[in-house]
Chains A and B, each alone.
Chain A
Amino acid sequence: MTIKTTAARPSLWTAVRNINLRAYGMIIALVSIMLLFQVLDVVLQDSNFITPLNLTNVILQNSYILILAIGMMLVIVNGHIDLSVGSVLAFCGAVSAIALSDWGLPWYLAVLVAVGTGALIGVWQGFWIAFVRIPAFIVTLAGMLLFRGLTLKVLGAETVGTSGPYNDLASGYTIAGFDLRMPTLIIGILGAALYVALAVRSRSREVRAGIAGSSQLAWLAKVVVLAAVIVVAAYTFYSYKGLPLIGWILLALVLIYTFIANRTVFGRHIYAGGGNEKAAMLSGVKTKQTSFWVFVNMGALAGLAGVIVTARLQAATPDAGNMFELHAIASSFIGGASMSGGVGTIIGAVIGGLVMGVMNQGMRVLGVATDTVQVVLGLVVLAAVFFDVWNKKRASGPIVGTTPGGSGEAKRKGGGGPDSGPDDDKSKDKKPEPVGAE
């Protein structure tokens, strides 16, 4: 193949082309939105938007959506969808409130009951989806009705109040009486330092092996900006009351799940199964088991989110979590998930959720009516996905080894759509399709 190409002589344009807008675009968008509200607040109300109090509120008010979004991202990456999380959240919250208030269990056991209930629900739904092969849309649509009904049943259409350290999970700033204000600043700075150290180490290993993926300048800019963001965020929370407890929980979840997604065999199998299930299966990935555990995990996270919602309202209510599934799904898509599966990051889902949360908070501070807020958020979801589509087109220019004109085509074929590869046998009854036998 001797296609003439400009890749040998990197120009500024190719450098710009190679920037993965998706990776940094969401962070840039989030920061821009915050700055926009800052300007609007100053102009219209002569006040500040970017205040420690407002940022803390964004975390407190969106924490449960973010927890759901983490699980939802894995579900979507694996090529499924979960419409039931709002109802599952309500049911787990209800069970946990009953365990706390009626059975008198200590708060940590009440949390465990919620997470366990959620996981069991995940087992139920995962069984139908992964092993019986009923589409997740159907199974979780049924689950949405089923668990909403069960919530009403266990609560008897009444609310069950909660009290004590249980409620601190959603709004406290201490853990076991230990104030988290100073640790916010210290861990923020240490975290930034650790991040820089890790980045330098992996960069030098790559450079030594001659396999560095990006230019020195781009790498440096990325490291400096991200380290600065960590320090500034830590200082901002520090100047109010410190990062709330739920913020720490979220941080831990993001780190753990990012690690699982990127660095574990199970995580990569989630991606491989969603990106091309048949190829993954023929590569030895136990796709059914993987999907099953993804739903168990989603259930457990919905259980945890149920605890947070209950603790925040200080009561389990029958209509808790209404529409939350759609917010979690929207967060994932704003955060870069692909409808066809295989693509998306944990941090993307969290940032997607934060974009919605910041817009919500910003418009409320400005006194925008709820109806308008909904309209704007709807448009944001559409705009984010449009940006994704546009970015993909931009990135799929011909590269070395590409058949001219065939660029992008391969990607479309890869989607597993009806027009797949050229050497495909189309007749369904002739082509041996792999069947999971594990």
Chain B
Amino acid sequence: MSEDILRMRGITKRFPGVLALDGVDMRVKRGSIHALVGENGAGKSTLMKILSGVYAHGDFEGEIELEGEPARFRNIRDSEDSGVVIIHQELALVPELSIAENIYLGNEQTRRGVISWDRTNTEAARLMGQVGLHDHPQTLVEKIGVGKQQLVEIAKALSKQVKLLILDEPTAALNDSDSENLLELLGQLREDGVTCIIISHKLGEVLAIADEITVLRDGQTIETLDTAGDAVTEDRLIKSMVGRDLAHLYPPHTPDIGETFFEVSDWTVYHPEHRDRVVVNNAALTVARGEIVGLAGLMGAGRTEFAMSVFGRSWGGNITGNVTLDGRRLKLNSVSDAIKAGLAYATEDRKQYGLHLDYDLRENFTLPGLDKVSKNGVIDLHEVTSVSERLRGDFGVKAPSVYQLAGNLSGGNQQKIVLGKWVFTEPELLILDEPTRGIDVGAKYEIYELIQELVDQGKGVLMISSELPELLGMCDRIYAMSAGHITGQVDRENATQEELMRLMTLETASGGEELRQ
């Protein structure tokens, strides 16, 4: 047996009009964790789809060698039979079925053609133990969190006798502790002899866990780095990924902070269905003109719930508290009230809640601000087009025209449309919920610049992010939230990851006290 479990040579894949992969080479050592990094559109997912048989042999040029044997997969079944299993970014689980059923979905444990629930559940329990999942095998998948759902996917892969496990952005939707768990599990699988290929945007975790890193750019292999031998740093990787030096991850910015104009106080929100569950508890914060204020917290801390409940009660039940803008107390009973009052909320989930993917740029840009391009309820279509054209330019959306469908654009460009559509409503305060989630380094930088431009115009920005370095790099002041309480705030000068993490995990009883100090 050779040292390499996988060799891919000269992989070239064309789509009509686009050369997605251009002679990519990649070798993966047996029993290692191999990271695949690159900007969005670099070809990572396409390469992994080729490896896992999503694109059949013959649809592309080049050779794949698995354990020294040429591999010609016609479909996913073929690749799984050879021990190659891919876990996509969008988990392929059926929420209404149990964990055990999901693990053996498509591979049902039968006796004489009849499903043996006994064996399904006991075998599932064994696999779940292997991945550190201690729920009951008959728990419905919809009842467990995303972190555990990832583990179910891995258990499912293990049930297929996986030799080469491919994970596409496994930690994108996970919070820090879930991510850590998962990475630890990958290390454990490595010891059990499972080779992993991991695609990730989070360079920190890549450096922490990977044995080797292959960088793709514009459909070509740039280099493969050995994390043990070479001195690899984040900067080094970014340079290799974007093909240029990003002197800093965050654009330099001199804040010009004016007076405090936006204030939320005594804000309490209950869960809309579980009426006795407090989700946001007596929260309060302020934003000044020209200021970027961060809101840090672990998943489930109530940050999004807080933002959406402020934004015209678009989430939650039994909401109490005050919102004031420029000293005026706002009555926000609907999203349109909030928009009229000068608030904007760019959602963390741009595909589901932020955009109409089947509609073009014009419709997406102007939807919340249709009043501005209409008179007596009648829309000026010419105005719609020229406004969209202007926003497309201002926000640097890379699309051939405003007639392009939003769904055909990359994540970074979609995020720019979301920003554009809210800026068009001329808000005083923008709440940005995970504004850079799932987008690549270059596009992130552009988004940061846009945010800074907005505050330079005297607007206020409240930025929710799960990435602490991003908050530290961008914000003038950061609030931390834990279990519905705002547990404290730190200035730019005093902010460190450790201090924020301490506040984010603070026991909530003392939370209110700390804020008042």
Contact = CB atoms under 8 A, between A and B. Distances in A.
B359 A342 contact: yes
B173 A429 contact: no
B95 A428 contact: yes
Interface in B15-71: 15-20, 39-41, 43, 45-46, 49, 55
A285 B336 CA distance: 7
A276 to B, nearest CB: 5
Nearest to A275: B356
B363 interface: yes
Interface stretch (B186-194, B367-375, B504-512): B367-375
Given A211-B402, A428-B142, A286 B336 contact: yes
A286 B40 CA distance: 35
Q: How large is the interface on B (under 10, 10 to 19, 20 to 34, 35 or more residues)?
A: 35 or more
Contacts of A437: 312-314, 333-334
A275 B407 CA distance: 12
B244 to A, nearest CB: 12
B358 A421 contact: no
Interface string B127-161: 00000000000000011111001000000000000
Interface in A421-438: 421-435, 437-438
Chain A CB count within 10 A is highest, among B40, B367, B399, for B367
B408 A283 contact: no
A7 B400 contact: yes
A50 interface: no
A432 B363 contact: no
A282 B144 contact: no
Given A399-B400, A401-B399, A414 B356 contact: yes
Given A7-B17, A413-B357, A437-B312, A279 B378 contact: no
B126 interface: no
B356 A342 contact: yes
Interface string A113-151: 000000000000000000000000000000000000000
B406 to A, nearest CB: 8
Nearest to A6: B17
A19 to B, nearest CB: 13
A282 B335 contact: yes
B405 interface: yes
Contact of B377 (A3, A266, A410, A411): A266
Chain A interface, DSSP helix/strand/loop, else mixed: loop
Given A264-B378, A411-B358, A426-B146, A401 B410 contact: yes
Chain B CB count within 10 A is highest, among A266, A286, A399, for A399
Interface string B296-330: 00011000110010011111100000000000000
A405 B408 contact: no
A175 B173 CA distance: 66
Interface stretch (A201-209, A246-254, A311-319): A201-209
A372 interface: no
Nearest to A437: B313
B272 A422 contact: no
B39 A1 contact: yes
Contacts of A205: 382
B15 A423 contact: no
Contact of B49 (A278, A401, A405): A405
B502 to A, nearest CB: 24
A385 interface: no
A435 B305 CA distance: 11
Given A279-B355, A407-B15, A414-B351, A402 B410 contact: yes
Nearest 4 pairs of A and B residues by beta carbon: A414-B357, A421-B351, A404-B20, A438-B334
Interface of B: 13, 15-20, 39-41, 43, 45-46, 49, 55, 89-95, 142-146, 149, 169, 172-173, 218, 272, 299-300, 304-305, 308, 311-316, 333-336, 338-339, 345, 347-359, 363, 367-368, 370-371, 374, 377-379, 381-382, 385-386, 389, 398-405, 407-410, 412-413, 421, 434, 437-438, 442-443
13 contacts: A2-B218, A3-B20, A205-B382, A265-B371, A275-B358, A278-B352, A278-B353, A282-B353, A286-B334, A399-B17, A401-B404, A401-B413, A426-B149
Given A5-B17, A279-B354, A282-B347, 8 more contacts: A1-B442, A3-B218, A7-B400, A206-B385, A264-B377, A275-B359, A402-B410, A430-B300
